[in-house]
A and B are shown apart, each in its own frame.
Chain A
Amino acid sequence: MSRQSTGYWFILPALVVLAMLIAYPVAYTGLLSVTDSQSNFVGLKNFATVLRSRATPQAFWNTLYWVGGSIVFQVLLGTATAILLNQRFPGRSVMRSVALIPWVIPSIVAATTFAWMFHTEFGIINYMMTTSGLIEQPIGWLTNRDTVMPVLIAINVWKLFPFVAIMVLAGLQSIPKELYEAARVDGANFWEEVRYIMLPQVRPVLVAVTLLLVIWGLNAITIIYAITRGGPANSTLITPIQIFRIAFENVQFNQAAALSVMFFAVAILIVFFYIKALAAAPGEAR
């Protein structure tokens, strides 16, 4: 039937481009990871080399810390913002635009601006915190090993919570009015509505958004690279930056490919278990 084959012609160009840019590189990464720079098969030698490096486990835990810490606060803050912006009050549409600003600002701009605000000597944040008595001495936020990752996570949260807010807001707006009315007849107050109507109803949105945030968190290199480049002393080194370093600073493409394969596998595992856990959950009486 001609109708069938016409469909193929429409999707063909996009598929060819994506196959060339995604399927082929993925396969090629696998090949690179088990060969040396002269394309000789070397088995798992590259993997062993990479795993022996002390930076690898450190980067792994840093990545989990970075992604996990970011997501928790992005979802909490984003959902709270969405509930706020779903209320009726004068100036609501202006507030909705304002809430979008962090998302609109390019990551690199957010990174440089916050780097300036967290500047140890002349940063506005140290100034505000010392004068208000929260801290006694200015803190070297971006040079202290204990504070640098939380600060970077805070910047990442600032950047992406508006995205969660928009998506959850869209979910909130699609909740049928009857649910609220029924709740009101039962005498529910606002917080009960949040607990028993809004949160359960936007659950599917939150599930989808969180998955996107996981992926974006795993891809997010901009903020960390621009501010610390993985330092001090590898305390903010995440795996994507490590891959970049091995490939383009050490020029060890095969080792970088081996690390990519492992990174890829872990990412897929996380996504797989996430989807499995959450696909099963809505069946529970809730």
Chain B
Amino acid sequence: MTMNAHVLPPKQAAAAENTSSSRKKSAKLERTGPGALFIVVGCILLVVICLFPFWWMSLSSIKTLRELYTIPPIWWPTAPTLDNYYKVLFESNIPRYFLNSVIISVGSTVLALCLAVFASYGFARFDFKGKSLFQAFVLVGQLLPTAAIIVPLFVTLRVLGLVNTYWGLILVYMIITLPLSVWMLTSYFKALPVELDEAAIIDGASRVGVLFRITIPLSTPGIVAVVVYSFVTTWNEFIFALCFASDSSVKTLPIGLAEFSTEFNTDWGAVMAASVVMTLPIALLFMSMQRLFVGGLTAGATKG
């Protein structure tokens, strides 16, 4: 830390020395800030940057065709309409893709959670040969450039007859959800006192019994974080879905939306409505779980 070596401007140094012990206490509690102006300007900028696209998307989704294609753009539609939503919900494939996305995301989240719970308990509570090697292997999965393995994965899925099936995507999504889930849950399980496990085992519980009746109930925030993370990443996943689910019976929402918007004559109102439809479940899930999720994510990151 070079703090002490830093030469202070004489005025400030004098002020620091003059501080009486009674003032020192109150000064201690106050944190220096960048000034109210900086905070206000920063907040306004942040709100505009973060919310404007979202707001513009929602606004465009309730505009009529004529209002969408006018210059200057209309800031508040005079005749808000739900036609775009009607088009998306009743005249397109989007509801089907929505269902596919739900099935695949829920399936892979549940599967990843089951596998991760056991693996994390193993990593957190047992010492065995090659443990750090296995842990490193799990982490490498997170660092893998996924585009580099789409070809062999496709060939493998084709051999197994899993191309264009729900199971194919659910399995493949383990690559992106399982490593981080194991990583986050391991740090959660490690933080629980091992004495609890030992007491339960003395009382006659099996290892699996301990896991399900003590460890899991005590790490709800970690479990929630893993569930939200897995669901959101699989819901948004693009490249695997693009390669392994080209048939409309299994196509997921991101691919459906991409097709929607790159057709020759894009119907922007409908695209924006579909975007809102796709965002809502994720936004609701996130906002309701935000505290737990961010806590779990950063706990995993800092404890390693």
Interface residues of A (CB under 8 A from B): 3-11, 13-15, 17-18, 21-26, 28-29, 32, 80-81, 83-84, 87-89, 91, 95, 97-102, 104-117, 119, 121-122, 124, 127, 131, 158, 162, 166-167, 170-171, 174, 179-193, 196-197, 200, 205, 208, 211, 215, 218-219, 221-222, 225-226, 229, 239-240, 243-244, 247-248, 253, 256-257, 260-261, 263-264, 267, 271, 286
User: In chain B between 75 and 95, which residues have their CB closer than 8 angstroms to a CB of chain A?
Assistant: none
Q: Give Cα A98–Cα B42 distance, bound, in whole angstroms.
A: 13
Instruction: Say yes or no: A196 contacts B6, CB within 8 Å.
Output: yes
User: In chain B between 4 and 32, which residues have their CB closer than 8 angstroms to a CB of chain A?
Assistant: 4, 6, 8-9, 12-13, 15-16, 24, 27-28, 31-32
Instruction: Say yes or no: B254 contacts A108, CB within 8 Å.
Output: yes
Give the Cβ gap from B114 to chain A, nearest Cβ, in Å: 8
Instruction: Say yes or no: B282 contacts A6, CB within 8 Å.
Output: no
User: In chain B between 109 and 166, which residues have their CB closer than 8 angstroms to a CB of chain A?
Assistant: 115-116, 118-119, 121-123, 125-129, 131, 134, 137-138, 140-156
Residues of A within 8 A of B39 (CB): 84, 87, 89
> Known contacts A24-B156, A104-B283, A109-B278; can you find 7 more A-B pairs with CB under 8 A?
A4-B126, A97-B287, A98-B46, A106-B254, A116-B272, A187-B16, A225-B238
Contact of A183 among B3, B178, B232, B298 (CB under 8 A): B3
Instruction: Say yes or no: B50 contacts A124, CB within 8 Å.
Output: no
Residues of B within 8 A of A8 (CB): 122, 128
Instruction: Say yes or no: A18 contacts B147, CB within 8 Å.
Output: no
Give the Cβ gap from B302 to chain A, nearest Cβ, in Å: 6
Q: Give Cα A129–Cα B140 distance, bound, in whole angstroms.
A: 45
* Interface majority SS (helix, strand, loop, mixed), chain A: helix
Q: Give Cα A110–Cα B23 distance, bound, in whole angstroms.
A: 51
Inter-chain contact total with CB atoms closer than 8 Å = 329
Instruction: Say yes or no: A112 contacts B257, CB within 8 Å.
Output: yes
- B179 within 8 Å of A by Cβ? yes
Residue of B nearest to A196 (CB): B3
* Interface majority SS (helix, strand, loop, mixed), chain B: helix
Residues of A within 8 A of B172 (CB): 21
Residue of A nearest to B38 (CB): A84
Instruction: Say yes or no: A112 contacts B290, CB within 8 Å.
Output: no
Instruction: Say yes or no: A226 contacts B261, CB within 8 Å.
Output: yes
Instruction: Say yes or no: A187 contacts B178, CB within 8 Å.
Output: no
Instruction: Say yes or no: B32 contacts A189, CB within 8 Å.
Output: yes
Interface residues of B (CB under 8 A from A): 1-4, 6, 8-9, 12-13, 15-16, 24, 27-28, 31-36, 38-39, 42-43, 46-47, 49-51, 53-54, 56-57, 60, 68-73, 115-116, 118-119, 121-123, 125-129, 131, 134, 137-138, 140-156, 171-172, 174-175, 178-179, 182, 207, 232, 235-236, 238-239, 242-243, 253-254, 257-258, 260-262, 268, 271-272, 275, 278-279, 282-283, 286-287, 290, 294, 297-298, 301-302
Q: Give Cα A180–Cα B147 distance, bound, in whole angstroms.
A: 45
Residues of B within 8 A of A174 (CB): 302
Q: Give Cα A13–Cα B154 distance, bound, in whole angstroms.
A: 22
Contact of B175 among A11, A21, A104, A167 (CB under 8 A): A21
Instruction: Say yes or no: A256 contacts B151, CB within 8 Å.
Output: yes
Residues of B within 8 A of A13 (CB): 115, 118-119
Instruction: Say yes or no: A106 contacts B236, CB within 8 Å.
Output: yes
**Do A226 and B262 contact each other (CB < 8 Å), given the known contacts A14-B115, A114-B53, A158-B49?**
yes
**Do A127 and B182 contact each other (CB < 8 Å), given the known contacts A101-B54, A229-B262?**
no
